[in-house]
């Protein structure tokens, strides 16, 4: 096989791509992983590992190294409706992580039998016997590789998904996620919050503390996203426990995030192209939790490809689609939860009822209603 020819090329080394490469490393397939992550500008993320993601890690017999974790660990979410002003606490068991360290750790588990290059895949073109991918390295050099199978693990703004569907046929909703980092100061209780403010965004925002920083972020429709974020930050900053938002941010980060609304937004691929993780539209439409769907879908694809690496492509596509049915229905189920979370009247009734809430003895009670 010539040097630049592979059986399978994975584009993107986030949780989905790195996990797939790790799981396929002992298969007979010749693999290339193209990793476009720039560590100077890592992927914006809340870095919370939800119970579902913890379960998948356990099922894959993986344990998390301590240096991936940050301070503090989280047992509840403070849910705040700005209008009318109401706060409730719900029990949640997240692991609070440094997201870049988590991605680095997953990538470090990929055995050396997988070729890994740091570069940005620019085009995916169909050839008579597969695909030709052109990618650009950090020094500007462009390379081309050939492959029978392409896996798009390249996140919300997926080049591979675009190559498969074309820009105009891809109807998944994409928001702009914006996050800012602040010094949290020693007086602030480092809580985790979920904030609803329908005047500035139709979906929720969040704050989370990490090793002395407070991150405040949210998802916004693309039009005037920055103005809406700034206005929301101003409004939330009026609550005493969010005082750090009135100081100069240490950094601002932004990226696209998908929000599937129906089954056809979640696309597993065809004709030798497979999509995993957020590139497939696999992310919770209510909480934007995307790490567990990335791990679950990549594990499903690895198992299909390992079982029958030489099977014809339509058979593999059907098998992968079947292997993700449960995950896709689970995410679809969250569309129903989304209706309760994001319809103001229903959310207010749910919060007012106190259903599933926990009682918290508050020290910084000034925000509470």
Ligand X SMILES: Cc1cc2nc3c(=O)[nH]c(=O)nc-3n(C[C@H](O)[C@H](O)[C@H](O)COP(=O)(O)OP(=O)(O)OC[C@H]3O[C@@H](n4cnc5c(N)ncnc54)[C@H](O)[C@@H]3O)c2cc1C
Binding-site ranges for ligand X (CB under 6 A): 11-17, 34-37, 43-48, 50, 53, 120-121, 153-155, 159, 177, 179, 217, 255, 257, 277-279, 283, 288-291, 294
Other CB atoms within a 10 A radius of the CB of residue 83 amount to: 12
In whole angstroms, the minimum distance from the beta carbon of 30 to ligand X comes to 19
| Token digits of residue 113 | 């039998």
**Shortest gap between Cβ of 32 and ligand X (angstroms)?**
11
Least Å distance between CB 344 and ligand X? 23
Nearest to 226 by CA among 181, 176, 182: 176
In the complex, what is the shortest distance from the CB of residue 147 to ligand X, in angstroms, rounded to a whole number?
14
Closest approach of ligand X to the CB of residue 148, in Å: 19
Decide whether 175 or 242 has the Cβ nearer to ligand X.
175
Q: Which is nearer to ligand X, 137 or 355 (CB)?
A: 137
Position closest to ligand X via CB:
290
Place of tokens 């695909």: 131
Q: Let me know the angle formed at the C-alpha of 229 by 79 and 247, rounded to the nearest 5 degrees.
A: 85
Least Å distance, CB 352 to ligand X, is: 27
Specify the residue, 36 or 244, whose C-beta has the smaller distance to ligand X.
Answer: 36
Three-state SS at 128: coil
117 or 368: whose CB is closer to ligand X? 117
Would you state the structure tokens that stand for residue 244, as one six-digit string? 């750090």
CB 216 within 8 A of CB 207: yes
* Rounded-to-integer distance, Cα 338 and Cα 344, Å: 11
Nearer to ligand X, 50 or 273 (CB): 50
**Token representation of residue 351:** 């919060």
Residue with tokens 């995950």: 327
Q: Smaller CB distance to ligand X: residue 16 or 239?
A: 16
Residue for token pair 């990335």: 294
């Amino acid at each position: 096989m010539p040097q630049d020819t592979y059986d399978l090329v994975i584009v993107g080394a986030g949780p989905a791509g790195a996990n797939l490469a790790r799981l396929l490393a002992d298969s007979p397939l010749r693999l290339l992983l193209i990793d476009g992550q720039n560590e100077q500008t890592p992927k914006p993320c809340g870095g919370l590992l939800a119970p579902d993601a913890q379960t998948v890690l356990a099922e894959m017999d993986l344990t998390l190294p301590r240096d991936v974790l940050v301070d503090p660990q989280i047992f509840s979410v403070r849910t705040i409706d700005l209008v009318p002003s109401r706060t409730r606490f719900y029990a949640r068991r997240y692991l609070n992580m440094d997201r870049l360290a988590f991605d680095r750790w997953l990538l470090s588990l990929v055995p050396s039998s997988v070729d890994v290059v740091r570069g940005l895949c620019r085009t995916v073109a169909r050839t008579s016997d597969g695909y030709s991918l052109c990618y650009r390295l950090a020094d500007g050099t462009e390379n081309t590789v050939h492959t029978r199978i392409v896996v798009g693990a390249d996140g919300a703004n997926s080049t591979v998904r675009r190559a498969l569907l074309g820009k105009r046929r891809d109807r998944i909703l994409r928001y702009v996620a914006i996050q800012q980092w602040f010094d949290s100061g020693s007086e602030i209780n480092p809580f985790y919050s979920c904030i609803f403010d329908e005047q500035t965004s139709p979906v929720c925002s969040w704050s989370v503390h990490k090793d002395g920083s407070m991150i405040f972020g949210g998802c916004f429709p693309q039009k005037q996203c920055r103005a809406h974020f700034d206005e929301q930050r101003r409004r939330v900053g009026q609550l005493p426990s969010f005082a750090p938002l009135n100081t100069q941010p240490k950094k601002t980060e932004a990226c696209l995030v998908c929000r599937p609304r129906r089954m056809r937004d979640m696309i597993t691929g065809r004709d030798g192209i497979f999509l995993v993780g957020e590139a497939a539209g696999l992310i919770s439409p209510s909480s934007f939790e995307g790490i567990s769907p990335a791990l679950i879908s990549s594990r499903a694809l690895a198992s299909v490809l390992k079982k029958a690496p030489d099977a014809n492509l339509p058979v593999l596509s059907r098998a992968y689609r079947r292997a993700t049915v449960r995950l896709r229905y689970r995410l679809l189920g969250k569309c129903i939860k989304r209706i309760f979370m994001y319809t103001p009247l229903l959310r207010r009734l749910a919060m007012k009822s106190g259903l599933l809430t926990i009682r918290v003895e508050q020290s910084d009670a000034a925000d509470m209603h």
